[in-house]
Amino acid sequence: MDYDMPLFRPPSEARSLIFQVTLGCSWNRCLFCAMYKTKNFLVRPFDEVERDVIEMSRRYPETRKIFLADGDPLAAPTDYLLKVLDLMNERFPSLQRISSYAGPTNLKAKTIEELRMFRERKLDVLYLGIETGNDELLKRIRKGATAQQIIDASRKAIEAGLRMSTFIILGLGGVDGSHAHAKDSARVANAIDPQFLATLTLMLGEYERIYEEKIMGGGFKLIDKSQSLQELRWFIEDLELTDCKFGSEHASNYLPITGTLPKDKEEILGHIDKALKNTSSGMLRPEWARGL
Ligand code: SF4
């Protein structure tokens, strides 16, 4: 099986067998994201996917986890996806779960009945970038969905029995928008009540000027190490979740933390406060070790 590069997957899918059901991202307009800018969106013909699944089922018949790529397989028609999921279930008898990236627009377009049919075929976890719960910022970054639409789409998936793995990008609002970004993002995370929640931290490098001028309309200042910790604290302190695995281990973050919310909330906040008191302590990832 040949992959159409670039290929992305969440860190937690490192042990999954990846099948590209779609190529690229059907939206591909988020201004901070360059993941699929080199690709035109395409739902791969079923017989091509079928050929890959059959080939890999011969090579790895014991596969238990599958990840569907690229950016947003839910953009594919429901009948097509059901056929793909049926084929995977048939060819991999030990299959336990299938997961996929999901964009809010395409998730919103699926009915709860369609999502239940996916769930019955072992589609289990959807990775969805909330990015921010702040509507003004969502508009600026051209996410293509409002906070309420992200909440509604995610809640529908949870009601259908799927688990949501969501993430927020610290720093999207810069220094001036930091507080509103953190608080609105916590409000949206609370409304979704996801099973998994993670943070990334915005890294712009040479694109900082473009982000400032084209997206934020000038006056944007990227948050620094301690502002990122403060933003994380503002975010975590407002979270009221039922049972959620939280992680900030992504390489872009300064402070790697993992825990379960609400159980570990005070411990996580204590950890952030400790790091805030001394940002030159060994608790923080050095700048050179950060990456996307
Ligand atoms: S929906 Fe996701 S993959 Fe597509 S452009 Fe936006 S951030 Fe990138």
Ligand 1 near 196 CB (within 6 A): no
Give the residue extent of every domain in the chain.
Answer: 11-289
pLDDT band at 31 (very low <50, low <70, confident <90, very high): confident
Ligand 1 near 35 CB (within 6 A): yes
* Residue of 7, 8, 23, 28 with the most ligand 1 atoms within 8 Å of its CB, for mutation: 28
Task: Report d(CA 170, CA 188) in Å as an integer.
Answer: 14
Task: Label residues 102-137 b or e (16+ Cβ within 10 Å = b).
Answer: bbbbbbbebeeebbebbbebbbbbbbbbbbbbbbeb
Percent above pLDDT 90 for the chain = 83
Ligand 1 near 194 CB (within 6 A): no
Please give the backbone phi and psi of residue 289, each rounded to the nearest 5 degrees, phi first: -95, 0
Atom of ligand 1 nearest to the CA of 35: 8
Ligand 1 near 27 CB (within 6 A): yes
Are 105 and 150 in contact, with CB atoms under 8 Å apart?
Answer: no
Ligand 1 near 71 CB (within 6 A): yes
Half-sphere exposure of 145 (CA within 13 A, CB side): 25
The per-residue pLDDT for 79 is: 98
Strand-pair partners of 261: 244
The per-residue pLDDT for 8 is: 94
Mean pLDDT within 132-153 = 96
Look up residue 225 and give its two tokens.
Answer: 């190490």
Reported residue count of the chain is 292
Ligand 1 near 26 CB (within 6 A): no
For the chain, how far is it from start to end, CA to CA, in angstroms? 26
Q: Could you tell me the distance, in angstroms and rounded to a whole number, from the CA of residue 144 to the centre of ligand 1?
A: 10
Nearest residue CA, atom 8 of ligand 1?
Answer: 33
SS3 at position 168:
strand
Ligand 1 near 252 CB (within 6 A): no
Statement: residue 206 has pLDDT above 80: no
pLDDT band at 209 (very low <50, low <70, confident <90, very high): confident
Task: Report d(CA 33, CA 78) in Å as an integer.
Answer: 26
Ligand 1 near 28 CB (within 6 A): yes
Are 15 and 65 in contact, with CB atoms under 8 Å apart?
Answer: yes
Residues 6+ apart with CB under 8 A from 139: none
The per-residue pLDDT for 106 is: 94
Give the residue among 17, 178, 165 at the shortest CA–CA distance from 91: 17
Look up residue 79 and give its two tokens.
Answer: 């009948």
Q: What is the CATH number of domain 11-289?
A: 3.80.30.20
pLDDT band at 178 (very low <50, low <70, confident <90, very high): very high
* Residue of 8, 22, 27, 292 with the most ligand 1 atoms within 8 Å of its CB, for mutation: 27
Are 142 and 106 in contact, with CB atoms under 8 Å apart?
Answer: no
Ligand 1 near 24 CB (within 6 A): no
SS3 at position 75:
helix
pLDDT band at 134 (very low <50, low <70, confident <90, very high): very high
